[in-house]
């Protein structure tokens, strides 16, 4: 009678496999606490895929993410103005933040909802102006989003594509 050799793992090999699985799974869980993938389905940014690092504070020029009740979800935008920057309007009605012309505020959203332009002011301490160069972007140009408290920012966001 011929004895077939079993291809099953030994107890020791099962132990190594289980420990390896736990280590990999633990590392993935830890990474998930530090890094989150984000997708933007709007045309307001040239990129659509991002990595969010929630524990890193963004600075002027960086992307960040914030929740908006009016928009109904997360909004990914650039920090275009910080405390002390002036918000004004030029002779053509364009919003100007810290000397950079951002474009006009629209009267209606793409869904037909009424929008109200932000007022001319100096950005107060602990607030930022979020925006995009896209002319139809829903951003801090509108009172409906407005200036955002730094405490509401959900970390630094890096575009990947």
In this prediction, the residues of the chain whose per-residue pLDDT falls under 50 are none
Q: Quick check: is 148 in a domain?
A: yes
Reading across the β-sheet that carries 127-131, which strands appear in turn?
Answer: 36-39, 49-53, 156-159, 63-68, 73-81, 127-131, 148-149
The domain tally of the chain equals: 1
- Residue 56: give the domain boundaries: 36-159
Asked, for residue 27, whether it belongs to a domain, the answer is no
pLDDT of residue 95: 95
Can you give the pLDDT at residue 34? 77
CB-CB neighbours of 132 under 10 Å:
24
Burial of 96 (0-12, 13-18, 19+ CB in 10 A): middle
Q: List the CATH number of the domain containing 128.
A: 2.10.109.10
> What is the per-residue pLDDT across 37-82, written as a single tens digit (0 to 9) for each?
898 888 888 889 999 999 899 999 999 999 988 888 899 999 999 9
What is the predicted pLDDT for the residue at 1? 55
- DSSP strands (E only) in 57-142: 63-68, 73-81, 86-89, 94-97, 100-104, 121-122, 127-131
0.85 cut: is pTM over it?
no
């Amino acid at each position: 009678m011929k004895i077939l050799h079993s291809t099953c793992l030994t107890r020791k090999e099962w132990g190594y496999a289980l420990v390896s699985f736990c280590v990999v799974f633990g590392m993935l869980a830890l990474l998930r606490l530090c890094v989150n993938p984000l997708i933007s389905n709007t045309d307001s940014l040239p990129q659509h895929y991002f990595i969010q690092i929630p524990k890193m504070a963004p600075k002027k020029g960086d992307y960040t993410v914030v929740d908006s009740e009016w928009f109904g979800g997360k909004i990914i935008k650039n920090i275009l103005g910080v405390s002390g920057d002036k918000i004004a309007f030029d002779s053509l009605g364009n919003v100007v933040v810290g000397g950079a012309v951002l474009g006009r505020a629209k009267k209606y959203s793409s869904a037909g909802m009424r929008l109200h332009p932000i007022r001319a002011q100096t950005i107060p301490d602990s607030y930022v102006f979020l925006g995009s160069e896209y002319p139809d972007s829903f951003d801090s140009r509108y009172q409906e989003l407005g200036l955002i408290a730094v405490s509401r920012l959900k970390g630094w966001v890096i575009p990947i594509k």
